[in-house]
Structure formats: structure tokens, C-alpha cells
Amino acid sequence: MMAAVTALTGLAACAPATRFEWGAYEPALYAYAQNPENREAYRTALERAIEAGRKRDAVAPGLLAELGYLHLQAGETAQALTLFREERARFPESAVFMDRVIVGLGGQAAVAGGEAQ
């Protein structure tokens, strides 16, 4: 109990601010996973969270790719590619995965270390 309280004191200091903008990503993905009819609401939630994130350079990891994946499933390959490239540019950690997906779609993978935007 003491350990928990001690840990809490330290935790409280870093709890309020969020590093990234998530918007309604969590409830919207849940609703979509439960019922595919909630697809549009999930797409809107992703778009809004990404828009808020771009304003303070705090786009959350994965959200651009998730939105791209939604477009891909809807057959909108061009929009999907743009979003996968932005995910790759913002997060170099995604390069292997994004390049594989981009090349698989017939797109050009970004040159290593280059800007994909």
C-alpha cells in the first residue's frame, strides 16, 4: 500500500498533459470494432485527432496509418498512400512496415532517410 501511494505521488506530476492528440480515437475504434456501421464515426474521429495533432506537432503514432487503412479498405488507394507516407515521414520507426505496404500498393517507397512528404 505504501509503495502504491509513493508511486502515485510521482505519477501525479506527469499525469495531466498528454504527449499526443488522441481525440475520440479510443471510443470510436471500440464502437467500430463492435459494429462496422460505425465506420464513418471512426473515420471522423481519426481525422479530427490528426488535425488537432498537426497544429502542435503532436499527431499520435499510428493514427495516420489507421486512417490510411480505412481509405484502403474503401478502395481509395491514392488517399491511403498519402497518409501512409505521412505516417512514415513523421515516425521513422514505421518505415519498414509503411514501405512494405506502400510498395505492395504499387507506390514508390521513400528513399531511406529522405522526406516522404
Partner 1 sequence: MIIRKSLAVAALACAALLSACATGPAPKSYAALRAENPRSVMVVPALNSTVNVDAADYFVSTISRPVAERGYYVFPAHMVKGVLEDEGLSDAGLVHQADAARFGPLFGCDAVLFVEIQKWESQYILISTSTNVAFEYTLKSCRSGQVLWSDHQEMTYSPQASNSGNPLADLLAQAIVSALEKAKPNYMPLTQQANLTATHALGQGLPAGPYLPAQHRQDHKSFPDE
Residues at the interface with partner 1 (CB under 8 A): 1, 3-8, 10-12, 14-15, 18-20, 22, 25-27, 29-30, 33-34, 60-63, 65-66, 68-69, 87, 91, 93-97, 100-101
**Least distance to partner 1 from the beta carbon of 108, Å?**
18
CA dist list (Å): 4 to 9, 12, 70: 9, 12, 41
Which residue lies nearer to partner 1 by CB, 12 or 115? Answer: 12
Nearer to partner 1, 73 or 117 (CB): 73
Q: Closer CB to partner 1, residue 15 or residue 115? A: 15
Quick one: which of 104, 40, 106 has its CA closest to 70? 40
Q: Are 60 and 49 in contact (CB under 8 A)?
A: yes
| CB contact at 8 A, 87 and 64 | yes
**Smaller CB separation from partner 1, 13 or 115:** 13
Which residues are within 8 A (CB) of 28 and not within 5 positions of it... i.e. 6 or more apart? Answer: 38, 41, 42, 44, 45, 46
Please, which residues bridge with residue 61 across strands? none
